[in-house]
Amino acid sequence: MWIRLLGVTRAAEGELREFLRVEHGTTLPRFDVMAALYRRRDGVTMSELSRMLLVSNGNATTVVDRLEADGLVRRTPSETDRRTVFVALTPEGLAQFEGLAAGHEAQVARMFGGLSEADLDALTEILKRMGAA
């Protein structure tokens, strides 16, 4: 059961990874970061980012470093707390992400395609209860 759950998500991640690589020359972790920044358009701190993606702080730093070097993301120091930094998509990053998002959406839709409305509700409920455990 757990094995099967893991199998489904890994297979899906693999497909997404391939899509990003072949069609857009990018990678899954970069996509994840950009997706998080897309959902929080006005910027997030590094800590928030790593909490959102469930990755370590160090990891967030490296991926953001690379995205920043490519001009897709911008770091802005906080005015009120000199420890914190805000990260946000640049216009270039926003444009690139919107290009990726459509393809990703289509993949996810295909993945859930065989499911009825009731199935989706049931799955939502189950995952909610598992998350609580």
Query: Residue numbers of the site for a copy of itself (CB under 8 A)?
Result: 1-2, 4-14, 54, 108, 110-115, 119-120, 122-124, 126-133
Q: How far apart are CA 108 and CA 69, in angstroms?
A: 29
Number of residues this chain uses to bind DNA (CB under 7 A):
33
Is 83 a binding residue for DNA by CB under 7 A? The answer is yes
Coil, helix or strand at residue 44: strand
**CA 65, 69, 73: angle at the middle one, nearest 5?**
75
Q: Scan residues 31-60 and list those touching DNA (CB under 7 A).
A: 32, 45-48, 54-60
**Among 23, 41, 62, 110, which residue interacts with DNA (rule: CB under 7 A)?**
62
Q: To which residue do tokens 């395609």 refer?
A: 113
Q: Cβ 13 to DNA, closest distance in Å?
A: 8
Q: How far apart are CA 40 and CA 109, in angstroms?
A: 23
Kindly tell me which of 40 and 66 has the beta carbon lying closer to DNA.
66
Residues 6+ apart with CB under 8 A from 53: 32, 33, 36, 60
H-run or E-run covering 96: helix 91-111
Q: Cβ 59 to DNA, closest distance in Å?
A: 3
Q: Which entry of DNA, a copy of itself, none binds 23, CB below 5 to 8 A by partner kind?
A: none
Chain contacts with DNA (rule: CB under 7 A):
14, 17-18, 21, 27-30, 32, 45-48, 54-66, 75, 81-86
